[in-house]
Amino acid sequence: FRSKLFLLLSVAVICWVDGGYLARAFGDIADFALPALRLSWLAAPIVAYLAYLICVHLLKKEDRLNFFSTVLFVLVALASIFAGLTNLVIESYNFTGGIIYVTEGIFYFPYLICVFASIISSIWVVIFYRKPLVNNTLMVGVVCFFLISTIFNIFLPNFLNIYSLYFVGHYSSTIL
């Protein structure tokens, strides 16, 4: 089961990172860039949820967190579907100077809340169910990855209108 989770996480990270890269690389070709951008945004909540599941599995808390994991799965599935297959999260984009500026749809902020809920859940599980020496590396990796991702993919673009460093959040996946 663990190897399947890691494989799924790897595929989701590749979609997240490569979708973002391809959207930037081909930003002037809307028919290619917008689907690539949507792929990246479809994958982002899945990355966060799979990281959460890996933490739950490694700490052997599946039974204790089964209901919460199911609720979180439904939220992540809806966020991914809305982001990847509709205009409800990303209405359109603007490509200027090699930087993509997203035009938010009506479910943009609920989407961010779902992603943030997955991030907080992963960090909470790792800190709350922490076992000495068993998961110190896991805890540091998860916290660093999500901290960097939150700063560069959520906080800077949405609250300070800084989109030029967005790619840093994608490459933080190497920590995970």
Residue 157 has pLDDT above 90, yes or no: no
Residue 150 has pLDDT above 90, yes or no: no
**Distances in Å between the alpha carbon of 17 and those of 10, 11, 130?**
10, 10, 29
Q: Scanning the structure block, which residue is given the tokens 């990855």?
A: 145
Rounded to two decimals, what is the model's pTM?
Answer: 0.88
Looking at every residue in the chain, the average pLDDT score rounds to 88
In the chain, % of residues over pLDDT 70: 94
Q: pLDDT at position 134, please?
A: 56
Q: Residue 41 burial (CB < 10 Å; 0-12/13-18/19+)?
A: buried
Q: Residue 74 burial (CB < 10 Å; 0-12/13-18/19+)?
A: exposed
The pLDDT confidence band at residue 110, using thresholds 50, 70 and 90, is very high
Q: Which residues pair with 95 in a beta bridge?
A: 100
In this structure, the number of other CB atoms found within 10 A of the CB of residue 57 comes to 14
Average pLDDT over residues 48-76: 91
Q: Scanning the structure block, which residue is given the tokens 């984009």?
A: 93
Q: pLDDT at position 133, please?
A: 53
Rounded to whole angstroms, the Cα distance separating 75 from 117 reads 9
Q: Which residues pair with 103 in a beta bridge?
A: 92
The pLDDT confidence band at residue 171, using thresholds 50, 70 and 90, is confident
The pLDDT confidence band at residue 132, using thresholds 50, 70 and 90, is low
Rounded to whole angstroms, the Cα distance separating 62 from 68 reads 10
